[in-house]
Structure 1
Amino acid sequence: MDRNNEEEVIRNYQKGEKMMILLFAQWCINHDLDPVDIYQQAYPYQAKNTELIDALELTVSKKESDHIDSETLLDVLSMYGNDDLAFVVSEYIK
């Protein structure tokens, strides 16, 4: 793979990761949950997630949002390796 292709793959992954964070944040808003609190439960020893804070600025109110399927969120979290976060989210789904 040449350098340009590698950079394109990295950019696409980063875009997808940002969408995953926004999806998580909006799902939390839709369920009257605090995304920062949920994230801290999953990763208690990590510093604040600045990408999550940035994503919160892009969320809309519960009334304005489309439905986000919980299983879809869990799939996306797992796809990006956020298994601890997926576990915490699944506890809230129950």
Structure 2
Amino acid sequence: MSNKELEKQIIESYRRDEQMMILVFAQWCVNNGLDPVELYGRAYPDQGANEALQQALSLTVPKEEAGDIPHETVLGVLSLYNNVDLSFVVTEEIGKLKRRQAGTPSSS
């Protein structure tokens, strides 16, 4: 295999993995009654529409059909891609979700 072919395979693998990370984020949002586009927009207000996120949204399933995605899992996959700004927004939302579960009013 040539260096060019290897490079192409590595890039393609990265893109597939990145798409999986976006899908995990989108499904986690759906599972928790959150709007992934809104959260993404808060993290990256200057980016506009994200085509990869739109593609991932088309692959999500209703909460009732989805498996559970622990908060730690979504934060883990975001950190694998150094998605610090989105991790920050997700962490804020996790705090709100935990306060709601505990019956404490949210300070949104």
TM-score normalised by the chain length of structure 1? 0.96
Quote the offset at 1:36 in angstroms: 0.2
Deviation, 1:47, is: 1.3
Q: Which residue of structure 2 lines up, in the alignment, with residue 29 of structure 1?
A: 30
Q: Unmatched 5+ residue regions in structure 1? A: none
Match of 2:59 in 1: 58
- Percent of paired sites with the same residue: 51
Counterpart residue identity of residue 37, structure 2: V
> 1:68 Cα shift?
0.5
In the alignment, residue 43 of structure 1 is paired with which amino acid? Y
**What TM-score, normalized by structure 2, do the two folds share?**
0.84
Instruction: Answer with 1 or 2: which has the greater Rg.
Output: 2
Q: How many angstroms apart in 2 are the aligned matches of 1:7 and 1:83?
A: 27
1:57-78: per-residue Cα shift (whole Å, max 9, x none)? 1000000000001111111101
Superposed CA RMSD in Å reads 1.0
AA in 2 matched with 1:41: R
Number of equivalenced pairs: 94
Give the unaligned 5+ runs of structure 2: 96-108
Q: How far has the Cα of 1:88 moved from its partner?
A: 0.4
In 2: Cα distance, 1:13 partner to 1:45 partner: 24
